[in-house]
Amino acid sequence: MIASRNDTGPMITFDHIAIAANTLAEGAAYMRNLTGLTFPKGGAHPDMATHNLVTALGPDTFAEVIAINPDATPPNRPRWFELDNPVAQAKFPCTQAWLLRTDDIDGCIRKAAKLGIDLGTATPFRRDALRWRFAVTADGSIPLDGAAPLLLQWDETGPQHPASRMADLGLRMDSLTIDTPHADRLTALLHALGLQNLPTIRQSKTTKIDALFSTPADRGKA
């Protein structure tokens, strides 16, 4: 798993993987076909007019299926995860983004800026008892043509990570591979942020994020 604490700087570690879909029903069917599991309902994000399904990948990581909430008032800005982008929508459902959490999101944004990479602005969000900040770009795009990690900082979650309160169906993420035209820039960014255990990064003409999952049934065959 991609997780590390940088002894000389802020904590930076893998938080979750996001599968984007045009509807939650589409995303649920996609993940059920892929894993054999039915993702439980998560919650809504009124500020972005999105909603999700979530399942724990362990005590402090999770997977989410995210889609536009058709019953919510559209925001006055582009939604996160490129959900408003017609080019991105044409590829849905797919693994759309990988997310890192840190305890110094503003510092991480500044480090990226020194490399000429705009990770966005740390924007506050809340749902029930959860409080977090999420780096959102002005146009909702994912930097480096979709290859860069999205950043968040959990500001108030209670004593444990939110994943500890999610249903754990036994799904685990075994590896993460990122094909990108910006392999060198992505690697430099992750080193600058202090992430020590990197995903597999491969030079490619187009961006693709591949998460390899296993289920209890898979592990029983090993």
Arithmetic mean of pLDDT over the chain: 93
Contact (CB, 8 A) for 87 and 94 = no
Distance CA 153, CA 134 (A): 7
Distance CA 217, CA 215 (A): 5
| pTM for this prediction | 0.92
Among the residue ranges 1-15, 88-102, 153-167, 197-211, the one predicted with the least confidence is: 1-15
* In the predicted structure, residue 10 carries a pLDDT above the cut 60: yes
Q: pLDDT tens digit string along 87-127?
A: 999 999 999 999 999 999 999 999 999 999 999 999 999 88
Q: pLDDT tens digit string along 37-46?
A: 999 999 999 9
Q: pLDDT tens digit string along 179-199?
A: 999 999 999 999 999 998 899
pLDDT at 158: 65
* In the predicted structure, residue 4 carries a pLDDT above the cut 50: no
Closest CA to 217 of 88, 34, 17, 24: 34
Sketch the domain layout of the chain as residue ranges. 3-220
The CA angle 75-53-118, to the nearest 5 degrees, is: 50
Contact (CB, 8 A) for 99 and 65 = no
Under the banding of pLDDT at 50, 70 and 90, the label for residue 220 is low
Please tell me the class of the 3-220 domain.
alpha beta
DSSP, collapsed to helix, strand or coil, labels residue 40 as coil
